[in-house]
Structure 1
């Protein structure tokens, strides 16, 4: 009986503690962290700071645990659980200062009830398996979570005003604005993500980027009666620009060199009236493997942004099978048909690009030209 009473007492104490009222002088603010030097840090970060007379805590979202079973498989399939974070304010600030990333703070102009609502949600959510959720880069990330928490606490009464420098942009453009076009990260994003991100984002959808949380919150109002942000300040300002990498190892250089090599070998084959079979084998193998990866990202994962990817027009999965014909001195006639199909696909890619159906990586242009030249040579050579 004593044991039962103790359990009930601890249970009641825990529930009461988790639902405790915060002091009236509690301050709630939004922290906006600037970009870092790695691809996963390039878009910045957001957090909610809750400062009371007895604590100073920052809650954020988008964290993950490398120790989770099947981490990499679940990440690739879009089934990885992301988590809510909870950290001491001073520790978090020192961490980002060491990374030389800027930190801005916006103090929110909220009522006592709205502050209590935010605190209760964050604490309850964190207690429930650290708020595990399926991450979506555009619709459910570290920034949109902050937006949603604030909107829910104010019963959806936040009114956003367009910033002075606002422009209608697609999701892809919003991403690439944060990256240098001549980086492998930028190239990888343009290849892996499909046409679904080439639609124009609504103003509210711009808030998937932390910097836009800051920009939109600056001019937002609550029920058109009071400003959402009462004051803003810079906690830490980054004093250096992050490096863009070695130019000689950049995609434009590497892919241009590969393109020149393909065109040179093709020209030599044309002059000597021969065919370098190993080149055709390598091209079809590499293009086929890329095509298989893109197909899996489209159909075998829960990633919403990888659907309708027309990069398959230049990197098609069936190319893997074609390499067995490419290694023969006299391939089957249907191999010639596949080359014609590949030329047609490149033409369709150009139409898709010009019409705006999907934007492709500009650093791919030299390689695509080289592929077109190689295919035309193969058509003429194999018809003999």
Structure 2
């Protein structure tokens, strides 16, 4: 009786496991690389896997880059608590979106896999796409759509596939590059987007990562697969058997914004010089300018402070706080108070010296600050010292020294 119960239990257990179809000889597995889009979150491109089998009537995209704008997307994105998931979508739907709607280049690399390897990867993805398995905590640089695909291939193929990331890095002239240096290339046409990213993300972006880790960028994943070798029945062969451009972007209309951060912040510096003229310095116009300048920089400082201590992603240790001092937020209101304004003098002296240090050591700080902030730092320094009560220094210098009788 006990044996019958055990057999029944085992049968039920087997029936409860998902059973996936098996691919046929006509199946094909491809890495799809999508070029950059117009939005900031598409600036680095995208990676996905395509599995097709005409005998089974399937042609699907396995997309680890699926997310939702609902349920407090921006709050969770800011806090580093954004969940992505693996979705399985018909290829024609995704292709239409990438090519027709977004005008992004689509490149396909067909992988040189045996039928056994194809089915192993297919089963891995199908299991990973189950509701209980598909969700993961997204990380910009270490666990994104490209990383997940690379992990899937490595888990399925093991030591039978060999990559040459150092060679790819050398060809791209990025050997020894940091995350900031790698991403800079993709943000040249979006200086405001780059400014936002570099303001919010801290010193982690300046860490030197290994060429293997470069594959968080879809282009590097594609280039690495181009050069990879796979062992098939004892023979090393190229991992990619065929590469084709399914859609070539028609080119993006020139959308270079003349009002770049450098231009806007240079105008701020120009205004700081203007209100520092003796005829304007003590007027309400200068006071309003100072309040706006300190208020804005203080808000940036508060944002940096929040991201530093209350989020879980790469915002810890952010040297932008050296110039964007959160205390500036309070100082902006104190400027209008006759009672508290004089108390700012000592703060202005300390903050001014800090700004001088930041500007002197700008090029060698362990975190590379965005150069667009240089005019802002000079503007802050100018207005800090313009508002500092230098009579205190003169009084201290000429104050008679007290002598103690012996």
Same fold (TM over 0.5): yes
2:243 is the counterpart of 1:232: yes
Structure 2 counterpart SS, 1:283: helix
Q: How far apart are the structure 2 equivalents of 1:25 and 1:345?
A: 67
TM-score relative to the length of structure 1: 0.88
1:183 corresponds to which of 188, 191, 210 = 191
Q: How far apart are the structure 2 equivalents of 1:107 and 1:312?
A: 47
Correspondence 1:278-297 to 2 at 5 A: 278-297=288-307
Q: How far apart are the structure 2 equivalents of 1:89 and 1:178?
A: 26
Alpha-carbon spacing, 1:52–1:210, altered in 2? closer, same or farther (3 Å): same
2:336 is the counterpart of 1:327: yes
Structure 2 counterpart SS, 1:315: coil
Q: How far apart are the structure 2 equivalents of 1:130 and 1:370?
A: 52
Contact 1:313–1:348 (8 Å) recurs in 2:
no
Partner of residue 21, structure 1? 22
Partner of residue 3, structure 1? none
- 1:113, CA displacement in angstroms? 2.9
Instruction: Using the TM superposition, name which of 37-46 and 72-81 deviates more.
Output: 72-81
Q: How far apart are the structure 1 equivalents of 2:103 and 2:382?
A: 47
Contact 1:31–1:104 (8 Å) recurs in 2:
yes
Partner of residue 137, structure 1? 140
Q: How far apart are the structure 1 equivalents of 2:140 and 2:264?
A: 29
Correspondence 1:118-197 to 2 at 5 A: 118-129=121-132, 131-161=134-164, 162-163=167-168, 164-168=171-175, 169-180=177-188, 183-197=191-205
Q: How far apart are the structure 1 equivalents of 2:76 and 2:132?
A: 18
Q: How far apart are the structure 1 equivalents of 2:359 and 2:189?
A: 19
Alpha-carbon spacing, 1:90–1:9, altered in 2? closer, same or farther (3 Å): farther
- 1:66, CA displacement in angstroms? 2.4
1:299 corresponds to which of 287, 309, 321 = 309
Q: How far apart are the structure 2 equivalents of 1:382 and 1:25?
A: 86
- 1:368, CA displacement in angstroms? 1.6
Contact 1:32–1:46 (8 Å) recurs in 2:
yes
- 1:182, CA displacement in angstroms? 6.0
Partner of residue 399, structure 2? none
Aligned length: 373
- 1:213, CA displacement in angstroms? 0.8
Structure 1 counterpart SS, 2:44: coil
Instruction: Using the TM superposition, name which of 225-234 and 263-272 deviates more.
Output: 263-272
Instruction: Using the TM superposition, name which of 190-199 and 374-383 deviates more.
Output: 374-383
- 1:349, CA displacement in angstroms? 2.6
Alpha-carbon spacing, 1:358–1:21, altered in 2? closer, same or farther (3 Å): same
Larger Rg: 2
- 1:273, CA displacement in angstroms? 9.1
Q: How far apart are the structure 2 equivalents of 1:318 and 1:271?
A: 22
Structure 1 counterpart SS, 2:69: coil
Instruction: Using the TM superposition, name which of 52-61 and 150-159 deviates more.
Output: 150-159
Partner of residue 58, structure 1? 61
Partner of residue 97, structure 1? 99
Structure 1 counterpart SS, 2:77: helix
Partner of residue 4, structure 1? none
RMSD of aligned residue pairs (Cα, Å)? 2.7
Q: How far apart are the structure 2 equivalents of 1:382 and 1:275?
A: 23
- 1:365, CA displacement in angstroms? 1.8
Structure 2 counterpart SS, 1:83: strand
